[in-house]
Chains A and B, each alone.
Chain A
Amino acid sequence: MSTQTHPKTAPQRAKPAVAFEPRIVGFLCNWCSYAGADKAGAAQLPYPPNVHVVRVMCTGRMDPQFVLKAFDEGADGVIILGCHPGDCHYKEQNLRMIQRHRLFLRYMRQLGYEAERCRLDFVSAAEGEKFAQVVTEMVATIKGLGPLSQRRRQA
């Protein structure tokens, strides 16, 4: 059995650029985490501008295809932020997302991606500081891992 990874999905770390600015897509649930991000805004807590937020009503809506799509379009990392377990606006749908994320991390490893590139965390509507912290940490993590820009690489 060949151990060679599929060429399209093999992670090929580009040479570290002088100032690598990671591109990260953040999927946030409307009720807790998006509200938490709004709270970080209202409190004017500075954090790096590298995360593009995509709002979904619930992280239960998170389709693993969204993460693959983001990587495919040139994202270096993805964060999925939902309500804390037990606090889901839709009762327990964030738990489905936790299950899917676990499964997805196995898939990521098979693709040869570092698991840290797809971080799952929980941010409540009150946790503006935590949102700013998660974003700041994620940007640092991805800076450490280096870029994962398939489309640019293939072009």
Chain B
Amino acid sequence: MKTGVYLCRCSGIISDKIDSEEVQRRLAGQEGIAYIKTVDLACSDEGKREIGEDVFQQRPDRVVIAACSPRDHEETFREVLSNEGMNPFLMQMVNVREHVAWVTQDPQQATAKAIQMIRAAVRRVAHHDSLEREEIEVSPDALVIGGGPAGLKAAQLLAEAGRHVILVEKGPILGGMPVRYEEIFPKLECGPCVLEPFIADVLHGPHAANIEVHLQAEVVEAVGSFGGFTVKIRKRPRYVSLSTCIGCGACMPACPESSANPVNCGMNERKAIDFTFYGGLPNAPYLDAGACRRFKGQECNACVEACPIPGAIDFDEQEAIVERSVGAVLIAVGNELYDCTKLPQLGYGKLPDVVTSLEFERILAATGPTGGELKLSDGRAPERVAFIHCVGSLDPDHCSYCSGVCCMNALKFNELIAHKLHGALVTHYIKSLVLTGKEDHQLYQKVCARESTEWVRYENAAELTVAAGAGGRKVVRYGDDVREHDLVVLMPAMVPSAAVREVSQLFDLSRDPQGFFEELHGRVDATRSKVRGIYVAGTCQSPMDLSHSMTQAAAAAGGILSALVPGRKLQLEATYAVVDAERCSGCRSCVAVCPYKAVAYNEEHESAEVNPALCLGCGTCVAGCPVGAIQSRHFTNQQIFAEIEGALA
């Protein structure tokens, strides 16, 4: 085997410390070294040309380049070799600048160390294999799970770029939570007004043809990996045709059955066939089979008879499973609120007019149970309203974190109360107040300027109690502080929705200790999950406000657009792990240690298998394999042993 060594002088930085003649004298002819040449500045155009021409003439089997850190220039020299028709992985770099010349004071010691390191590299490189960076075909299409703000934003951006998007939403309408809010903080913009243009764009915009919307649908099965996922989507029947229904609402008054309305948290009833709420998009009612007489075996045709469009209502619609293939997945399934009954001292679920922030949103909403009129359960207008902040938040017994959103939401509520009921006293029970960014503080100042606002600071929610008082009032007690209110609004922490757990199991995604999706990196890659090709956005990743959700969704769309480009194949890392199926004992230790779900056990072959599209080459499975059945390409035991031998020879 013919090995060529190039020793960079680095314009004197290396050669002032390391005696190249001594290196040549000590190593020439040893260890299969055919030649040792010095280059003045290997990474310069001149240096690269010099090495390239020499490699072309000498045709070495292996090359060692003693220069700077491989972190700087390994790719540079790989390219030089590639250009000369040599496999770029048949090269090893020796870091004689950062690890020797710059840190070793005595030139003799520096030279001796450089010689040892070059010897180690020469021995290692002899075991290098020619590796290819394989390329695989990928699908540029994307699946978006969740039709809330984040999902809509991403779907819209991806469709605009010409990508085919499959949008799967669990509910009967699009828009998620904020579309149900009368106003959105910090500027008190109307929620539907902000979101409906997005929804309309997704349903009927110039790029809507690229978006396939599945409502009342869930992903029930997922296989494959980055570039090629295949998913099964279960679509529940709506019993109302979205293509023919004109949204006139004639069916509703005709319907004789009602049931609790989920969108209004059960505070009023809806007909068995009814809109989710007026203005919800797509503009078509849905039929709740659980409430409809026909599905209880009774004779009823009232809605069909009232409907002016023949065939728009179809009782025979069946559940359907559709299968789709995509290259990437964005998960934006949102959040829920912390269960306030876990703090029984606050009276939620036991006392009337103790409500959650979501229930209060609906009470304020024009499309809500009271038509937007702020009134108590007995119909009176409240004169004193209390907001208990941080319910379940910053509390080691409940949620240790701060959701960072509820403070602003309570301030928004304060303003809406002031607009609706002049002179109503608003009391904020606060533990902490979080007002960030360039806009939040303005709303706070506005609220502070109102004489009808008062603040009570509390430390521990366990010592705060809400009890029934005279005349339907609620008595809120914290230590010596006792106040009476007509309405108590609890501001619970944001917690992961049940869908987070379901979807995490489906795609084998990890969740953080709080139960949210775990991102690849909290600061620099918060929109990528740990599984390549699966992105997360919005409040299923972390509590956040609308602005952050939208931004994160746009970032995820950008990530998908960059990762999967039509016509471009996916280039895999050359240095992934490979399993020798013959040696694999099937213990699955490797499956357990892989953080990227790149190793799976193939029952049919009775062996672990590494998916090169997912493996990032960390080598943990290799070290963890008890029978030595896994090899880390370019970091094999043989190569590392050879380096150790050379270093200590």
Contact = CB atoms under 8 A, between A and B. Distances in A.
Interface string B613-644: 00011111011100000001001010011011
Contact of A69 (B99, B110, B641): B641
Given A25-B647, A52-B647, A38 B69 contact: yes
B104 interface: yes
Contacts of A23: 648
A44 to B, nearest CB: 5
B637 A93 contact: no
B116 A52 contact: yes
B120 interface: yes
A96 B621 CA distance: 10
Contacts of A65: 637
Contact of A96 (B103, B624, B645): B624
Contacts of B637: 63, 65
Given A54-B640, A69-B641, A61 B648 contact: no
B97 interface: yes
A134 interface: no
Interface string A118-141: 000000000000001000000000
Given A52-B120, A52-B648, A69-B641, A90 B103 contact: no
Interface in B64-114: 69-71, 95, 97-100, 102-106, 109-110, 112-113
Nearest to A42: B98
Q: How large is the interface on B (under 10, 10 to 19, 20 to 34, 35 or more residues)?
A: 35 or more
B619 A73 contact: no
Nearest to B595: A91
A48 to B, nearest CB: 8
Contacts of A100: 623
Interface of B is mostly: helix
B534 interface: no
B99 A90 contact: no
Contacts of A44: 102-103
Interface in A73-96: 73-75, 89-93, 96
Contacts of A45: 103
A142 interface: no
A75 B619 contact: no
B112 to A, nearest CB: 7
A100 B112 CA distance: 33
A62 B618 CA distance: 10
Given A52-B116, A93-B620, A60 B593 contact: yes
Q: Is the interface of A mostly helix, strand, loop or mixed?
A: mixed
Given A60-B620, A61-B620, A93-B618, A69 B105 contact: no
Contact of A62 (B102, B623, B641): B623
B408 to A, nearest CB: 30
Interface string B581-608: 0000000000001011000000000000
Given A25-B647, A69-B641, A46 B104 contact: yes
B648 A49 contact: no
A142 to B, nearest CB: 14
Contacts of A37: 98-99
A63 B98 contact: no
Interface of B: 69-71, 95, 97-100, 102-106, 109-110, 112-113, 116-117, 120, 530, 575, 593, 595-596, 616-620, 622-624, 632, 635, 637, 640-641, 643-645, 647-649
29 contacts: A25-B648, A34-B69, A34-B71, A38-B69, A38-B95, A38-B99, A41-B103, A45-B103, A46-B104, A49-B104, A49-B113, A54-B640, A54-B644, A56-B640, A57-B617, A57-B632, A60-B620, A60-B623, A62-B623, A65-B637, A70-B644, A70-B648, A89-B618, A90-B618, A91-B595, A93-B618, A93-B620, A96-B620, A132-B103
Interface of A: 23, 25, 30, 34-35, 37-38, 40-42, 44-47, 49, 52-58, 60-63, 65-66, 69-70, 73-75, 89-93, 96, 100, 132
Pairs A-B, 6 closest by C-beta atoms: A41-B98, A61-B619, A60-B620, A52-B647, A58-B618, A90-B618
